[in-house]
Amino acid sequence: MSIEVGSILTGTVTGITNFGAFIQLQGGITGLVHISEVADNYVKDIKEHLKEGQEVKVKVLTVGKDGKIGLSIRQANAKSTPNKGFNKKQSPNISFEEKIAKFLKDSDEKHQDLKRHTDSKRGGRGSRNY
């Protein structure tokens, strides 16, 4: 059975950890629901929301090349509400290293602009106004 991103499936909770829950899907495939994807509100103890052997409806978020599957209970139960406050302008095919490099470049440019603006108000680099 092929698992596609965005599909809604039913699975069984097979294990609970402090960072999430493992869900066994059809065909014996196992995925992970991160603790942040269990409920809409803050989840301090995942055992208050899930029990081993419980049937849950999950949405497939990611399918990694290494076979790891990211799942969400929260998004599977959402009433088709889009992510509030998140605007993904970048394509999902950008690697982590490329994202970090872009962030560092943007951060450095902003830091230089801020420093230049601050230095001009002080009268230049290292000068003192007495």
What Cα–Cα distance (Å) separates residue 67 from each residue in 16, 29, 62? 20, 9, 10
Report the candidate in 25, 53, 22, 27 with the shortest Cα–Cα distance to residue 38.
22
27-82, pLDDT tens digit by residue?
889 999 999 999 988 888 999 999 999 999 999 999 988 889 999 999 988 764 45
pTM, rounded to two decimals: 0.58
pLDDT at 19: 92
69-113, pLDDT tens digit by residue?
999 999 988 764 455 444 555 556 778 888 898 999 999 988 988
Architecture of the CATH domain 8-76: Beta Barrel (2.40)
